Amino acid sequence: MSQSLVYLDNNATTMVAPEVTEAMMPFFRDRWGNPSSIHRFGGSVRRYIERARSQAAELIGASGEEVFFTSCGTESDNMALKGFFALHGTKTRIITSAVEHPAVRNTARYLKKMGAELIEVGVDSQGCLDPAVFDDLPIDEHTIVSVMWANNETGVVFPIEEIAPKVKEKGGVFHCDAVQVAGKMKIDMRTVPVDILAVSGHKLHAPKGIGIIFIRKGIRIEPLIHGGHQEYGMRAGTENVPYCVGFGVACSLAIKYLGEETDRVRILRDRLEAELLKRCPGAKLNGHPTKRIPNTSNISFENIEGEAILLHLDENNIAASSGSACTTGSLEPSHVMIAMGVPYHFAHSSTRFSLSRYTTPEEINRVIEVMPSIVEKLRALSPFVKD
Ligand code: PLP
């Protein structure tokens, strides 16, 4: 493997931006005090957490008091659903889409076992969710609706600005998993009535192990972690100061690059997609052609195993993914492909390419170059194809 790495798995995790690493280092080396300490050595660190909170709030159009640091997107999603259940008990009704990330899907299923009612709303063959569905659903003050902003496998964007007001009108609470959209598209809590929002650091060039939950002023949920008074009583445990600082810087960089850079990524993604669909026989796009975050392309190659494609790409030092990283190791098509009704001989080969602002045109050229021969070779070996 002499060629340099082409990393097209940014929906799984992203490279930590050099500016983020640099901003974090002083908090490992010099400023390692406990922000809750009375003495200046520790206490003086608090203002850096608060600055990071403001930077995070700015990315989503919130105010600082509505943003709480957590350890990851999964924790934020768990906190939203379990924190609601803790107040509403067995009266709780959870409504989610059929294509949520396991962080929401499995939490909702767990709460169903604990006595909550669970309704899962389906998507169409392009992975889109019809907002009109929410007109007829039973939604009241004991209902939490949890719908992701963008799907991690297909990149399809859901009309949150249409769904959230429908939920609010009927008195429900609206939670949105924004892990795949934050930093890729502008989102603004001032204009969309989302009550609770989850964001993860490692999807936007901060390290793994840090995230935020946005809780709109006036919305009540129970904390997931009890203990000290940290995070205004919403998330106990001594703060991970370097990671909070890194998250804040990553958010400021994301704001800086939204627009021009995300347009550049979209152009690269569209070229990759158009060329693969043209050059690889039996290739088909999974997901809506335009209602997508700019960095994601999910393509199936008829009658080929996705795992085999990934291994061949890996031999060429190209990192991509089949479905979400959390489901690799399973031979079943992902729940997202199943919910979209993608036929088995396509669903099995669903391959996700996810770009970042560090992706170059040369890297895209390399994938366009190698992919047709991988498809040709694997198709010749395919157990699905009968002559
Ligand atoms: N939600 C979505 C849509 C995701 O894509 C992911 C990670 O892949 C998560 C939640 C979980 O985030 P984290 O890895 O920070 O726990």
pLDDT tens for 123-156 read 999 999 999 999 999 999 999 999 999 999 999 9
User: Which atom of ligand 1 approaches the CA of 13 most closely?
Assistant: 8
What's the average model confidence in pLDDT over 90-102?
98
For the Cβ of 107 lying below 6 angstroms from any atom of ligand 1, the answer is: no
DSSP labels, 100-159? --HHHHHHHHHHHHTT-EEEEE---TTS---GGGGGSS---TTEEEE--SB-TTT-BBP-
Distance 316 CA to ligand 1 centre (A): 27
For the Cβ of 153 lying below 6 angstroms from any atom of ligand 1, the answer is: no
User: Which atom of ligand 1 approaches the CA of 325 most closely?
Assistant: 8
Cα dihedral 254, 242, 50, 214 in deg (nearest 10): 60
Distance 101 CA to ligand 1 centre (A): 7
* pLDDT at residue 325 is higher than 60: no
Cα dihedral 336, 341, 345, 346 in deg (nearest 10): -60
- Name the phi and psi angles at 155, rounded to 5: 80, 0
Q: State pTM to two decimals.
A: 0.96
Distance 291 CA to ligand 1 centre (A): 20
Q: Based on the residue annotation, tell me whether 326 is a catalytic residue of this protein.
A: yes
Q: What is the pLDDT of residue 322?
A: 87
For the Cβ of 101 lying below 6 angstroms from any atom of ligand 1, the answer is: yes
74, 75, 105: which to mutate for ligand 1, most atoms within 8 A of CB? 74
pLDDT tens for 332-363 read 789 999 999 999 889 989 999 999 999 999 99
* pLDDT at residue 387 is higher than 80: no
For the Cβ of 206 lying below 6 angstroms from any atom of ligand 1, the answer is: no
Where does the chain show beta strands of DSSP type E?
6-7, 67-70, 93-97, 117-121, 143-146, 173-177, 196-200, 211-215, 283-285, 296-301, 318-319, 351-354
Cα dihedral 17, 18, 24, 29 in deg (nearest 10): 150
pLDDT tens for 181-217 read 999 999 999 999 999 999 999 999 999 999 999 999 9
149, 199, 203: which to mutate for ligand 1, most atoms within 8 A of CB? 203
